[in-house]
Amino acid sequence: MVVDRALRHLRQGGVEQLLSKTRDQLRFTGEYALFGLERALLTDRQWYEYTVWRNRRGVDAAADPRQLRSVDPARIQRTSPFETLFCFRKLGAVRDGDWDQDCERLDDRFDYIWEALATRYEEGRAWEDVELVQEVLAGEQRWRFATGEEVWDWVERLDDVYESIRSEGYYPARTLLDATFEEASEPTHDSLAERFTPVANESMLFEECDDVAIFDWLADIQVDIGRDGEVLQHNGRHRLWIAQHLGLDEIPVCVFVRHEQWQDLRDEVAAATSVDELSDRARRHLDHPDMVDVRGSLDPAPDARPTVQQAPMAHADD
């Protein structure tokens, strides 16, 4: 099977594609092993504290990853390039580089999902009439992790989430769970084997463990923030589409990765005692949702403009 995949990549893209896919696979295998090892050796609370410590080393104005931000869902137009698998290992991370440049637009990246959701919730068609559902039933496609007849359970959950948000509003996962972080991170496993069956984003990748609640508690729409404050979708595409479709003014999001240049601005704001000490760029970003924990009593300058950057023009699992 591995050899077949390697030959296919070689035929399709030559040696360059083969080497690229090999690097991706090695990265995936390494992260899979590290995440599994961490989850096997540590309790949920220990895992969280270790992950946050690892990702925030050397950061001055480090944010508490548990603190949610309220953002206008309509302003989230592009998607982060970071892989969503093992997304919780990135909790609170600060990354440099050009990863926030030339990000793909959501309606391009998830066009087939957007079309399916629009057919159902804008046109009011039955799921049987949705092309993506028919492709999943025929074995030509999968929707999230649903294949074949599993798609009916998946779309039923989507209907429940859509109706809940439409009729009751959008609530953070922790509110829906009615649990504190301390309650969610209590040890619940009796054996090492159970600890080695981790859960990521509501069983996004691994086998489901009903007793593990910490990942459910953290499973809000996840975003990353680029160097200029642009909020990029990291995970939660279905809930984000629903929020945008329903015209919600704001939703709670969990920030996973910040660009190093954005973190520099947070550090600058946190260290200032008055607005006059700030650079022009920092003053323009004082009203950004990700500055709420560092700006203290500092007020935006009178000429400051909203700075949740949009893309440049050219309660279910997610």
SS3 readout for 153-207: HHHHHHHHHHHHHHHHCCCCHHHHHCCCHHHHCCCCCCCHHHHCCCCCCCCCCCC
What pLDDT is recorded for position 189? 64
What pLDDT is recorded for position 200? 45
What pLDDT is recorded for position 212? 46
* Whole-prediction pTM: 0.84
pLDDT tens digits, 117-143: 999 999 999 999 999 999 999 999 989
Residues of the chain under the 50 pLDDT cut? 1, 198, 200-209, 212, 304-314, 316
What pLDDT is recorded for position 83? 81
Show me where the domains of the chain are located.
60-291
What pLDDT is recorded for position 87? 81
What pLDDT is recorded for position 195? 62
Average pLDDT, the chain: 84
What pLDDT is recorded for position 296? 87
What pLDDT is recorded for position 207? 43
